[in-house]
């Protein structure tokens, strides 16, 4: 990545460092996000490592570095090598929710088998109203999606009455996704502040992505999280970002090069995601 040296007033320098500290972000990441927002670059772009077809076939070998992923976005979700937990990317930080329920802020550089990120900048915000189940969230968001043929990033913040989440545990390399899902742990959280990090993807994209809605949860204290199975809340703040630039980085790992990716993964994805 190029290095940019600029002269700024010391008051602004202090404000940047304070904001980065409060958000648990690096100064680099915060300045990138702020410049990107100001210059409106890649506002509608998403970056993805690998494909859902490869994941279903058990291609879970790390392909692209976490630093490269964070160069392309600050908000998203994914998984880890050997399906070792659920990935949540929020405010430029990567969190790993493992099968034992522990959450780790991953600051190291490691390789990722599958992830999607955007520079989150909402086009629209709304109040969800009462949410008694995940379907209510989908209904609240559906009417605000302009088209069923574009992708959307969704950020929902607030106080959740209940969250039912899961995390897949570490498995031997090459385990297929349907078998990985059998090894998952499930968690129930109640009265918890946090964020749903999610995407909506069109049905036609099933070979690349998980069609429909896909949410991962992270609590405000960054101590709890997982792939969301169900949830309820009295009201949530919802931000939507329309995405129409789709940048996919295909792995050049041996397992990806030799996998049979000719099957339609839609049925397997519907079962496990």
Which stretches of the chain bind Zn ion, using CB under 5 A? 227
Specify the residue, 20 or 58, whose C-beta has the smaller distance to Zn ion: 58
CB of 241 to Zn ion, least distance (A): 19
Distance CA 27, CA 257 (A): 37
CB of 165 to Zn ion, least distance (A): 10
Specify the residue, 20 or 87, whose C-beta has the smaller distance to Zn ion: 87
* Token pair belonging to 133: 């189940």
Closest CA to 216 of 36, 94, 60, 71: 94
b/e sequence 106-133, b meaning 16+ C-beta within 10 Å: beeeebbbbbbbbbbbeeeeeebeebee
* SS3 readout for 73-101: CCEEEEECHHHCCEEEEECCEEEEECCCC
Specify the residue, 25 or 184, whose C-beta has the smaller distance to Zn ion: 184
CB of 199 to Zn ion, least distance (A): 10
* Token pair belonging to 21: 């500290």
Helix, strand or coil, per DSSP, at residue 154? strand
Distance CA 205, CA 212 (A): 10
CB of 166 to Zn ion, least distance (A): 8
**Do the Cβ atoms of 192 and 224 come closer than 8 Å?**
yes
CB of 207 to Zn ion, least distance (A): 17
Q: Which residues contact 229 (CB under 8 A, 6 or more apart)?
A: 134, 164, 165, 166, 186
Specify the residue, 30 or 163, whose C-beta has the smaller distance to Zn ion: 163
Specify the residue, 158 or 226, whose C-beta has the smaller distance to Zn ion: 226
Tell me which residue has its CB nearest to Zn ion.
Answer: 227
CB of 272 to Zn ion, least distance (A): 9
Specify the residue, 44 or 227, whose C-beta has the smaller distance to Zn ion: 227
Q: Judging by DSSP bridges, how do beta strands 124-127 and 111-112 pair with one another?
A: unpaired
Distance CA 100, CA 272 (A): 19
């Amino acid at each position: 990545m190029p290095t940019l040296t600029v002269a700024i007033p010391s008051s602004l320098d202090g404000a940047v460092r304070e904001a980065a500290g409060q958000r648990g972000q690096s100064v680099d990441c915060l300045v990138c996000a702020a410049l990107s927002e100001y210059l409106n670059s890649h506002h509608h772009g998403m970056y993805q490592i690998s494909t859902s077809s490869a994941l279903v076939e058990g291609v879970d070998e790390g392909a692209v570095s976490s630093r490269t992923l964070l160069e392309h976005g600050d908000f998203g979700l994914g998984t880890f090598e050997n399906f070792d937990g659920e990935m949540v990317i929020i405010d430029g930080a990567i969190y790993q929710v493992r099968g034992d329920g522990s959450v780790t802020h991953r600051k190291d550089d490691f390789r990722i088998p599958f992830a999607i990120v955007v520079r989150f900048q909402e086009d629209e915000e709304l109040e969800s109203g009462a949410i008694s189940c995940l379907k209510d969230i989908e209904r609240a968001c559906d009417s605000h999606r302009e088209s069923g043929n574009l992708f959307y990033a969704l950020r929902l913040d607030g106080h959740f009455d209940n969250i039912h989440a899961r995390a897949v545990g570490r498995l031997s390399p090459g385990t297929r996704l349907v078998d990985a899902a059998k090894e998952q742990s499930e968690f129930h959280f109640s009265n918890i502040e946090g964020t749903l990090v999610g995407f909506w993807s069109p049905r036609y994209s099933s070979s690349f992505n998980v069609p429909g809605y896909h949410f991962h949860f992270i609590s405000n204290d960054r101590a709890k999280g997982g792939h969301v199975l169900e949830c309820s809340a009295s009201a949530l703040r919802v931000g939507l970002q329309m995405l129409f630039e789709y940048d996919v980085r295909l792995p050049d790992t041996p397992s990806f090069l030799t996998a049979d990716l000719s099957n339609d993964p839609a049925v397997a994805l519907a079962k496990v995601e």
